[in-house]
């Protein structure tokens, strides 16, 4: 098999984990930067709409690196969806497929079900919840918690910050509650 | 004002800026050096690398996140768990061998304070994570991968962050 075909396959968890883990020392050694993504949302607020709010009154240019980093993530997404795209549909647990089929949300070959994440679905109640309400909770929750999966779960735990362990446990608890208790109702809407 | 006073004032402002920047933020630039903007280009390349991993390992998939929260797959636990182990070993090595940055600056780790935000905010983010199937990193990667609708999710996440800034003083911490 040619190397490029090999790379185009979905990467196993240990390859991804190793490489994500290595981004921690890479950023530290390049210039004392802590891996994290959600802060970029704050820097965008500070740069574009500070509105006199003291939380956004800081020199965001000192954190310009983070905006370069997320711009890179965007380009990385583009590269993987074109040059490195996996030609086969995503392999899912058959149980999840049967569970989700009852809601008729469709689009199993893609990364997201198109029945709830699409421009056509945006103005439906489901579409509003999945894109707008969900996004708002991500932005509000990560900042309130002081970090997201990369900042708390990976960078925070890597440097033995116990508040990050609390935050990670709460991320997981919130996710379990939403996915198992509320989503079955929301998906039926 | 004498030069000494101006210097002091400058240092005070700088310290205050650091305090505000590090408020509710774990992931900040802790370097005290100032460089021209193009020194940031290297982080763009780390971002490309990071984005490729997120998509290729299907971490950006809404379905993978559902599998994780329904305990139907080990994949996400494997990715996050092994990333933490590699990160921990790297941090340990950096501390042990007193590794410096490429600019020769010491890498130090400041302990973070616990506050109630990690609980309340953590739960709220958990809800959002299960709904959108994406944490902030994957939002950028999904848009790059061509899911243009996620632009709306990202804008909404920016609005959520802004709203947090607006009502921050009124929330329990």
The reply to whether the predicted model has a pTM over 0.90 is yes
Q: What is the pLDDT of residues B145-159, one digit of tens each?
A: 999 999 999 999 999
What is the pLDDT, as a whole number, of residue B4?
54
Domains in chain A: boundaries: 1-85
What do you get for the CA distance between the two ends of chain B, in Å? 39
The DSSP symbol for B115 reads -
CB contacts of B123 in chain A (<8 Å) are 141, 170, 173-174, 177
Q: What is the pLDDT of residues A91-128, one digit of tens each?
A: 999 999 999 999 888 777 778 898 899 999 999 999 99
CB contacts of B130 in chain A (<8 Å) are 174-176, 178-179, 183
**In the 3-class helix/strand/coil scheme, how is chain A assigned residue by residue?**
CCHHHHHHCCCCHHHHHHHHHHHHHHHHHHHCECCCCCHHHHHHHHHHCCCCCHHHCCCHHHHHHHHHHHHHHHHHHHHHHHCCCCCCCCCCCHHHHHHHHCCCCCCCCCCCCCCCCCCCCCCCHHHHHHHHHHHHHHHHHHHHHCCCHHHHHHHHHHCCCHHHHHHHHHHHHHHHHHHHHHHHHHCCC
Q: What is the mean pLDDT of residues A165-170?
A: 97
Q: What is the mean pLDDT of residues B52-73?
A: 96
Chain A, nearest residue to B43 by Cα: A69
pLDDT band at B28; cut points 50, 70, 90: confident
What value of ipTM does the predicted structure carry?
A: 0.96
pLDDT band at A17; cut points 50, 70, 90: very high
Chain B, nearest residue to A168 by Cα: B122
Question: With an 8 Å Cβ cutoff, are A68 and B54 in contact?
Answer: no
What is the pLDDT, as a whole number, of residue B15?
62
A37 → closest Cβ in B85, B107, B136: B136
pLDDT band at B1; cut points 50, 70, 90: very low
């Amino acid at each position: 098999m040619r190397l490029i075909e090999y790379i185009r396959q979905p990467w196993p968890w240990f390859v991804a984990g190793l490489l994500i883990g290595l981004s921690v020392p890479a950023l530290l050694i390049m210039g004392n930067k802590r891996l994290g993504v959600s802060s970029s949302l704050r820097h965008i607020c500070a740069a574009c709409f500070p509105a006199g709010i003291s939380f956004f009154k800081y020199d965001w240019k000192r954190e310009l690196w983070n905006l370069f980093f997320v711009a890179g993530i965007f380009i990385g997404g583009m590269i993987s969806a074109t040059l490195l795209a996996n030609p086969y549909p995503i392999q899912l647990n058959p149980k999840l497929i049967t569970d989700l089929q009852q809601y008729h949300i469709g689009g199993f070959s893609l990364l997201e079900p198109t029945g709830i994440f699409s421009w056509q679905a945006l103005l439906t109640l489901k579409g509003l919840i999945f894109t707008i309400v969900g996004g708002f909770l991500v932005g509000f929750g990560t900042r309130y918690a002081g970090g997201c999966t990369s900042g708390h779960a990976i960078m925070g735990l890597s440097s033995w910050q116990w508040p990050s362990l609390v935050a990670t446990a709460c991320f997981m608890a919130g996710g379990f509650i939403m996915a198992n208790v509320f989503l079955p109702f929301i998906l039926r809407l | 004002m004498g030069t000494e006073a101006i210097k002091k004032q400058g240092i005070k402002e700088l310290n205050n800026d650091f305090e505000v920047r590090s408020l509710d933020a774990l992931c900040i630039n802790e370097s005290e050096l100032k460089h021209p903007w193009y020194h940031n280009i290297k982080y763009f390349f780390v971002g490309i690398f990071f984005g490729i991993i997120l998509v290729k390992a299907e971490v950006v998939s809404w379905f993978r996140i559902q599998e994780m929260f329904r305990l139907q797959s080990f994949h996400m636990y494997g990715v996050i768990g092994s990333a933490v182990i590699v990160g921990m070993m790297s941090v340990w090595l950096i501390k042990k061998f007193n590794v410096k940055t490429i600019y020769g600056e010491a890498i130090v780790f400041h302990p973070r304070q616990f506050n109630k935000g990690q609980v309340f905010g953590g739960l709220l983010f958990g809800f959002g994570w299960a709904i959108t199937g994406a944490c902030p990193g994957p939002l950028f990667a999904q848009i790059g991968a061509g899911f243009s609708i996620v632009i709306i999710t990202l804008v909404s996440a920016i609005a959520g962050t802004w709203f947090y800034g607006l009502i921050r003083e009124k929330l329990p911490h």
